[in-house]
Every structure is written in structure tokens, then in C-alpha cells.
Amino acid sequence: MRTVLVIGIGAGDPDQLTLAAATAMQQADVFFLLDKGAEKHDLIALRQDLMNRFARPDHRVVEVRDPDRDRTTDGYVTAVDDWRRQRADLLETAIAEHLPDGGCGAFLVWGDPALYDSTLAIIEDILARRRVAFTYTVIPGVSSVATLAARHRISLNRVGRPFLVTTGRRLAAQLPHDVDDIVVMLDAHCTFARYVDEDLDIFWGAYLGTPDEILIAGHLGEVAERIVRTRWEARERKGWIMDTYLLRRRDRPAGP
């Protein structure tokens, strides 16, 4: 039986790789990498650095060109489902061709595989087809959310209060009013700028855990324009950007 390891590798800092992840990398015969094109070569290079440091010398690497997602359609869920299906097609073929029975393959996943990542859903899709058989294990990683909080030296929650992890798409529909601490991921449109009139602080970070890391924090109305400009300049310079942020409602005055 083949074995597949889904390994969380943290937000980009090699020092954030857990001992469990390093041990798992030692077990892998072959690593499957999704190549996102020349603009995001940095993402492949960082994975290759981890493999050079922690994988066995005889490991193999199989690169699969990541299909482009259709961003022209109005049906977001349908587009994402189609994109994941294409990924599953390619990775199913790669596993069948490059991972022999008894072999151990690995996927190196940014952050934590359980938080806004498609790898686990794709693995389940492949298994459901019943054309390629394997078992798989998930090794958690340090998420970008945890790294964001650490870099800004803050807690995600306040005493006795919940916090919400959501997406820019959901934030665009509504600013939640029943929670005061909101972590936002996958926001390509700087949705926070819609809420500059709210009494919110923002803790923003891009390229977390990498040498290109950028951090900005402050009252949203005072720093939103700076974040938008900085984000645009960084994306123009590198060709890609990964960022996340925490919106924190300032304490409301106590009632009479």
C-alpha cells in the first residue's frame, strides 16, 4: 500500500518547521510539488530549501503544473470546485505514475493543512475515485494566523471572547457585529478599506515568516491607505502576495 504524508510546513520560516514535520520529511521517497509558474517560483524555492535541509539525500521531486482557476465566471464556488477537480486529476496521475506500491509520498503545505487549504479535499477526491489506493496522514503546521499574532505580539482572542476566522469574500458581504476580533484570509481586494469609519484596529502581515515579511498595525482609519499602497507595491515587485490580518474592534464604553 502506498502512503501519502500531508505535511504542514509553516508560513515560510524554516525555523517554524515542527519536529514532527521534519521527521515526516525523512520518511518520504518522493515529494509532489504544485508549480504555480515563474511569478511564484519563490514558493517552490522555499520548499526545495526545506527538502535540502530535512529530506533524505535520495528523495525525488515530482513537479505538477498547477492549473489556473477561472476568475472570469460569477460562480465562485463552481470555479473553485472545477479548479480542485483539475488538481485532483493531475495529482492522481502523478501518484499513480511516480509512487510505487509500498512507497511514501509527501505534499508540503503552507501553514496548516486544516486551515483554508485544498490539499485534504483533493486527497479525499482522489481516494473516492478508487483508481489509486493509498493511506494518508496529516502533520499539522504553524499557520499564518499564528505567525501573524506572534509577529505583532498579540493574542487572537481577548478574555472570555471568541474570535472569527473568515475570508475577504465573506467580509465584503458584511462586517460581523457579534464578534470583536476577526481574522481575515484570502483577501485580494483589501476589503478592510470598506470599514475605515468603524472603530477598528488592524494588524496586517504579508509574506509572513519569509525575508520579505511586511508588518503594519494601527487604527484602521489611519493605516488603511498605507496598507493598500504597500500591498500593491509589494505585489508589483514580486508578482504575488500572501497576506492576512486581524481586525479588532476597540473596547466599547461600559453601559450606565
Query: In this predicted model, what pLDDT tens digit does every residue of 146-171 receive, in sequence order?
Result: 999 999 999 999 999 999 999 999 99
Q: How much is the pLDDT for 145? A: 97
Q: How much is the pLDDT for 46? A: 87
Counting residues of the chain whose pLDDT is more than 70, the rounded percentage is: 94
Would the pLDDT of 252 be above 60? no
Would the pLDDT of 255 be above 50? no
Q: How much is the pLDDT for 70? A: 65
- Three-state SS sequence of the chain: CEEEEEEECECCCHHHCCHHHHHHHHHCCEEEEEECCHHHHHHHHHHHHHHHHHCCCCCEEEEEECCCCCCCCCCHHHHHHHHHHHHHHHHHHHHHHHCCCCCEEEEEECECCCCCCCHHHHHHHHHHHCCCCEEEEEECCCCHHHHHHHHHCCCCCCCCCCCEEEEHHHHHHCCCCCCCEEEEECCCCCHHHHHCCCCEEEEEEECCCCCCCEEEEEEHHHHHHHHHHHHHHHHHHHCCCCEEEEEEECCCCCCC
Of 82 and 3, which is predicted with more confidence? 3
Q: What is the mean pLDDT of residues 179-199?
A: 97
Q: How much is the pLDDT for 231? A: 98
Q: How much is the pLDDT for 251? A: 78
Would the pLDDT of 204 be above 90? yes
Give the tens place of pLDDT for each residue, 143-152: 999 999 999 9
Q: How much is the pLDDT for 196? A: 97
Would the pLDDT of 179 be above 80? yes
Q: How much is the pLDDT for 81? A: 81
Q: What is the mean pLDDT of residues 203-218?
A: 96
